[in-house]
């Protein structure tokens, strides 16, 4: 055996040891009894008084008696500290150390008192019994949190004011905005996985269940997740009847909302783990909009041959525009984080359609992340120096016009790409004829309807309907993962990793997705082991294809 072969063999043996060790650690979880054990704090003479009323109750769903729960925690380590508001993560003892009281009321007014320990730090009042109205009506933040207030008797007030979770933006306006900023997609010419559609799987999916992602303590990531995670195992496209890869249309999924849509559990006073993706409400505020888009890929092959293959992939970007529909910012995501959040002038577009690039991998078809820039790469972190050497995972974004292929919005034609300027508009800007790179158009823009209202009679919907195409309805109401790989798995004998199939877009716990409180709002980028997804130029009013106000004419 040659010297280089011996060294490579030793790397592989070492990696097997590390992988098998990591597997033995992750398999050791607390028992069910330990997970559910509650530490009851001692009561004192300190009393918290909760007062309020239940307003605009959807009485066909919620009827008296009403049941409320008050709870107080002692979490001194979290006071005046920053923590992850999505997962419980490193605070299992805090989450289980509390006193509580549950009480029923026959009227719309409630008064509930709770004796608490001297060192209490967080408390809430929660309206229970809302299972039938979840995703349809929001009572506001529920639980509603209060921070520590000194005193032997402290009175807190919160009124539960129900609002319909129907989108107040008319469908016509939603579609107009979604069409305006639909993408020009640039892929490497030999890219195997291209954006297709979910609808073809309507009658070719199987429901399964597996263990959900858990915290270090063995608890679900949030209060609203169960130990079991449902998922749809999808048939392989090539096994579908009458399937043709060339005729499999590209659909782009979208949702339009007001920019400051509010999500329950995101109060400053809230403990981690109480973010409720099904409880949100819309606030018009200054009238700004966020248009979120998702691209569906049948498979994710990962950024290297060694890892992260999984069935199904939903990659997303979002546009922030003002009340008149002028673009302000763009945000892209990938690998469960925000890769770019920047001003619109720092990217290239044609009639406000952003030029977006889909990555391939290093020796693989890639993980499909989206970038607003081409002809660069980011080296990703594989876990440690050994894995970086063996796998060397990378996102490699294609160069427009050089061995690339393009998917166009329906409103554009090949002729619109005869003279495309790419760059800041000043030094280094290129003018390219990309018309010969176009190989298909986006066949359809598909709106994500509010899951709780799919095919139900409307109450406040401005279009007075919630009719959804049956081809997509099953996916809109499904709260789980879409694909045959619901959990990460290391095949250490094969030196291969399988990633997780994506959470369904309306429920996906990513930073910028349908029901999150995030939006394109401040300059931020994500860096890899080497390189980053940040702006490749700083734009001005001279930026290629940039215009400060909407002036493109619909064709």
**What local confidence, expressed as pLDDT, does residue 519 receive?**
83
At 208 the pLDDT is 95
Within 8 A by CB and 6+ apart from 471, the residues are 199, 202
pLDDT band (50, 70, 90) for residue 446: very high
Q: What is the pLDDT of residue 382?
A: 86
pLDDT of residue 402: 80
User: Is pLDDT above 60 for 484?
Assistant: yes
State the virtual CA torsion across 132, 137, 143, 145 in degrees, nearest 10: 180
In the predicted structure, residue 529 carries a pLDDT above the cut 90: yes
The residue among 540 and 297 whose pLDDT is bigger is 297
pLDDT at 542: 83
Mean pLDDT of the chain: 85
Q: Which distant-in-sequence residues (6+ apart) come within 8 Å of 241 by Cβ?
A: none
Average the pLDDT over 516-531 and give the result.
87
Where does the pLDDT of residue 550 fall: very low under 50, low under 70, confident under 90, or very high at 90 and above? low
Specify which of 196-205, 258-267, 381-390, 507-516 reaches the highest per-range mean pLDDT.
Answer: 196-205
Report whether 130 contacts 62 (CB < 8 A).
Answer: yes
Residue pair 74/120 in contact (Cβ under 8 Å)? The answer is yes
Q: Judge contact between 525 and 372, C-beta under 8 A.
A: no
Of residues 29 and 322, the one with the higher pLDDT is 322
Low-confidence winner among 287-296, 330-339, 519-528 (lowest mean pLDDT): 330-339
Q: Please report the pLDDT score of residue 240 as a whole number.
A: 96
* Residue 83 pLDDT: 55
pLDDT value, residue 104: 95
pLDDT of 173: 97
pLDDT score recorded for residue 34: 54
Q: What is the mean pLDDT of residues 473-483?
A: 92
What digits encode the pLDDT tens for the residues 107-136? 889 999 999 998 899 999 999 999 888 899
The H or E element that residue 177 is part of is helix 171-180
pLDDT band at 508 (very low <50, low <70, confident <90, very high): low
Rounded Cα distance, 306 and 399, in Å = 25
Q: Residue 547's pLDDT band (boundaries 50, 70, 90)?
A: confident
Reply yes or no on whether the pLDDT at 82 is more than 90.
Answer: no
Whether the bond into 252 is cis, omega within 30 of 0? no
Please, which pLDDT band fits residue 36 given cuts at 50, 70 and 90? low
The predicted pLDDT at position 92 comes to: 63
Q: Which residues of 200-271 form beta strands (DSSP E)?
A: 205-211, 228-234, 251-258, 262-264
Measured CA to CA, the distance from residue 316 to residue 294 in angstroms comes to 4
**192 or 29: which leads in pLDDT:** 192
Give the three-state DSSP class for 143: coil
Q: Which of 37-46, 247-256, 508-517, 533-542 has the lowest mean pLDDT?
A: 508-517
Percent of residues, the chain, with pLDDT higher than 70: 85
Say if residues 379 and 529 touch (Cβ distance below 8 Å).
Answer: yes
Q: Is residue 50 within 8 Å of 158, Cβ to Cβ?
A: yes
> Percent of the chain, pLDDT > 90?
61
pLDDT at 59 > cutoff 70:
no
pLDDT at 445 over 80: yes
Distance, CA of 454 to CA of 465 (rounded, Å): 9
Which of 129-138, 335-344, 525-534: highest mean pLDDT?
A: 525-534
pLDDT at residue number 516: 55
Please give the torsion angle defined by the CA atoms of residues 107, 110, 114 and 120, in that order, rounded to the nearest 10 degrees. 140
194 vs 5, higher pLDDT? 194
| Higher local confidence (pLDDT), 503 or 392 | 392
- Inform me whether the pLDDT recorded for 28 exceeds 60: no
Question: Can you give the pLDDT at residue 81?
Answer: 62
Please state which of the ranges 41-55, 118-132, 367-381, 495-509 shows the lowest mean pLDDT.
495-509
Contact indicator for 425, 539 with CB cutoff of 8 Å: yes
Cα–Cα dist 507/513, whole Å: 8
- φ, ψ for residue 146 (rounded to 5)? -130, 140
Query: pTM value?
Result: 0.88
Contact 434, 470 (CB under 8 A): no
Residue 16's pLDDT is 38
Q: Predicted confidence band at 237 (pLDDT cuts at 50, 70, 90)?
A: very high
Q: Look at residue 390 in the predicted model and tell me its pLDDT.
A: 87
Is the pLDDT assigned to residue 7 strictly greater than 60? no
Label residue 254 exposed, middle or buried (CB < 10 Å: 0-12, 13-18, 19+): buried
Weakest-pLDDT range from 206-220, 299-313, 354-368: 206-220
């Amino acid at each position: 055996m040659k010297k280089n072969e011996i060294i490579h063999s030793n790397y592989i043996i070492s990696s097997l040891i590390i992988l098998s060790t990591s597997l033995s650690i992750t398999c050791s979880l607390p028992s069910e009894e330990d997970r559910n054990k509650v530490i009851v704090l001692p009561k004192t003479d300190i009393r918290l008084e909760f007062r309020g009323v239940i307003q605009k109750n959807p009485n066909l769903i919620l009827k008296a008696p009403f049941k409320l729960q008050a709870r107080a925690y002692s979490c001194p380590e979290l006071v005046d500290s920053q923590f992850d508001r999505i997962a419980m993560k490193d605070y299992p003892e805090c989450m289980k150390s509390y006193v509580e009281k549950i009480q029923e009321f026959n009227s719309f007014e409630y008064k509930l008192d709770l004796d608490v320990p001297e060192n209490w730090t967080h408390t809430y009042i929660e309206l229970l019994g809302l299972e039938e109205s979840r995703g349809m009506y929001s009572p506001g933040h529920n639980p509603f949190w209060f921070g520590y207030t000194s005193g032997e008797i402290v009175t807190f007030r919160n009124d539960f004011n129900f609002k319909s979770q129907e989108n107040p933006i008319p469908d016509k306006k939603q579609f107009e905005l979604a069409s305006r900023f639909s993408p020009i997609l640039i892929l490497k010419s030999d890219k195997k996985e291209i954006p297709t559609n979910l609808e073809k799987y309507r009658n070719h999916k199987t429901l399964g269940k597996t263990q959900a992602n858990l915290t270090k303590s063995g608890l679900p990531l949030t209060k609203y997740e169960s130990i079991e995670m449902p998922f749809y195992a999808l048939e392989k496209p090539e096994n579908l009847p009458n399937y043709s890869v060339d005729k499999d249309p590209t659909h782009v999924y979208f949702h339009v909302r007001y920019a400051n849509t509010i999500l329950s559990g995101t109060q400053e006073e809230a403990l981690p783990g109480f973010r409720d993706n099904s409880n949100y409400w819309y606030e018009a505020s200054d009238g700004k909009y966020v248009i979120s888009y998702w691209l569906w890929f049948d498979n994710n092959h990962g950024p290297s041959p060694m890892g992260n293959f999984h069935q199904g992939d939903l990659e997303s970007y979002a546009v922030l525009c003002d009340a008149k529909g002028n673009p302000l910012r763009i945000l892209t995501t990938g690998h469960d984080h925000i890769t770019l959040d920047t001003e619109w002038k720092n990217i290239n577009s044609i009639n406000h359609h952003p030029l977006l690039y889909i990555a391939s991998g290093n020796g693989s078809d890639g993980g499909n992340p989206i970038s607003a820039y081409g002809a660069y790469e980011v080296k990703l972190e594989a876990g440690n120096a050994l894995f970086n050497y063996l796998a060397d995972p990378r996102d490699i974004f294609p160069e427009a016009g050089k061995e690339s292929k393009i998917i166009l919005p329906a409103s554009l034609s090949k002729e619109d790409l005869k003279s495309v300027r790419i760059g800041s508009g000043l030094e280094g800007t290129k003018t390219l004829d990309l018309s010969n790179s176009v190989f298909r158009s986006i066949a359809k823009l598909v709106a994500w309807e509010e899951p709780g209202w799919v095919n139900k009679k409307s109450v406040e919907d401005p279009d007075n309907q919630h009719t959804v195409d049956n081809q997509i309805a099953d996916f809109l109401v499904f709260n789980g993962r879409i694909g045959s790989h619901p959990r990460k798995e290391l095949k250490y004998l094969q030196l291969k990793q399988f990633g997780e199939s994506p959470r369904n877009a309306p429920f996906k716990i990513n930073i910028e997705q349908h029901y999150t409180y995030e939006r394109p709002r401040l300059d931020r980028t994500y860096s890899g082991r080497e390189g980053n997804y940040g702006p490749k130029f700083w734009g001005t009013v001279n930026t290629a294809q940039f215009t400060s106000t909407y002036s493109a004419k619909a064709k």
